[in-house]
Chain A
Amino acid sequence: MTDQDDQSWFDGLYQTGPQDKPPPDLDTRIRAAAREPAPGRAPRHYARWAAAAAVVLAAAVLLRLPPDAGSAYHGVAVETDRPESAPVAPPAMITPVETASRESARAGADLRASVPSTPAEASASAGLMRAKAGDDAERPAPERAAPAKQIADSMPAPPDAPAQALGALATNGTAGRCATLHVPVDGVNHPAEVCIDGDQLRVTLVNAACPPLTVALSASAHDSGPAGGQEIPSGPDSRALLPDRGMPVCVTGTWDYEPLPEQPTRPLTRP
């Protein structure tokens, strides 16, 4: 017998076998199931995803740091309005140390004309200044916030001048070059023009009715101070630093200036 014979024998016999059929109720169930909607992405499915996405989005918004949140350079907090997308690590650092009263700034008083000529007057003038940032922090928050807000409201829109602009100036050692950046006063960033003029750093608050603040770069910027920068006194005491450059009569703050270690080959000398 060949395989074909076996196959023919089987086919003939198998065809006479019982022609079983599925039970009718089974047919009914299957046909009913076939008429149900096609499985897929039901609206309920999308709604769940949308709800989950909304929760994630809300959490991201709530947890987002304020745009002017502090950033740290060399372990020292530096407040700038640096855009989030801007590169970090400027080669220079400006740190607020002391803040003068905004009353004098708002009044637009040209304190150059009222330079204290006697120790008593100097002491009184110095009383307008806060000796250290710690003093500033001790003041009640509302007292600080209100004038700061007024100043901030009077300021133009912050320019996109990050602190590294100043660092670039310092790195290049280009005398007479200026950059517009934000300097913090009482925790509020203000646009200011910062220039390096020789070995001096001149900071002028934009829209502030004050003459330029001129301070000197410190030769010992890397060595002194807990922040690694040289604290430059403000107010009448600055006269000692700037005997020939005019008085910083409308001081709204003093800043440490610290070039990055790798940058200046140009010696920084105290005038």
Chain B
Amino acid sequence: MSRYAGGDANAFDVLYGRHKDASYRYFLRQLPEAAAADCHQTLWLNLIRARTRYQPTAPFRAYLFHLAHNVLTDQHRRSGRNPLTLVGTDTDGDPVRPDDLCGADDPAATLVRNRQAVRLMTLIRALPAAQRDALLLRAEAGLSIQEIADITRTSAEGIKSRLRYALRRLRAEFTDD
């Protein structure tokens, strides 16, 4: 990021290629697809505009997802709600995302895993917003408890509590199914 801020336009391609999927999924797990795409674009345009003011005082990933969190907060504020959306349904009515699914060796095992993963994404979407945000900052951005606390302006203990409740709820509901 420092190289890009210094005028090296090629450095942005490296930076974007390294973080674009995680940032996109961070939005996609919490917003409708169109809104997620908008937020993803807004995030990176904000970063481009602010590149001359960038100060490498924190890891870039934490900086990026701090911006992403702000974009998401703005999006929620504009929409006035915390939308929950399904990404689609298969013939059985279960939500499914056919593309980019992992594991293609064993079709049967892959199908099971895919169904489980899609189920998990659905449950994640149903989490309270604060828990979901902390969980995705942990899962997609790989941030530490303290980094998440800094971004969300919450105490580290508060973040631990959110993550604990979120994981217990997900596991409980997943097991029930």
Contact = CB atoms under 8 A, between A and B. Distances in A.
Contact of A10 (B28, B40, B100, B167): B167
Given A30-B44, A31-B13, A33-B48, A22 B117 contact: no
Interface string A20-36: 11110011011101111
B72 to A, nearest CB: 15
Interface in A207-264: none
Interface string A149-160: 000000000000
Q: Which secondary structure dominates chain B's binding surface?
A: helix
A23 B7 CA distance: 26
A4 B163 CA distance: 11
A7 B25 CA distance: 19
A3 interface: yes
B77 interface: no
A1 interface: yes
A17 interface: yes
B120 A14 contact: yes
A18 interface: yes
Interface stretch (B16-24, B55-63, B78-86): B16-24
B120 A3 contact: no
Interface in B104-119: 113-114, 116-118
A34 B9 contact: yes
22 contacts: A6-B168, A6-B170, A9-B171, A10-B120, A11-B139, A13-B117, A16-B103, A16-B113, A16-B114, A18-B102, A18-B117, A19-B100, A20-B97, A22-B24, A22-B37, A26-B41, A29-B41, A30-B16, A30-B20, A34-B16, A35-B12, A38-B51
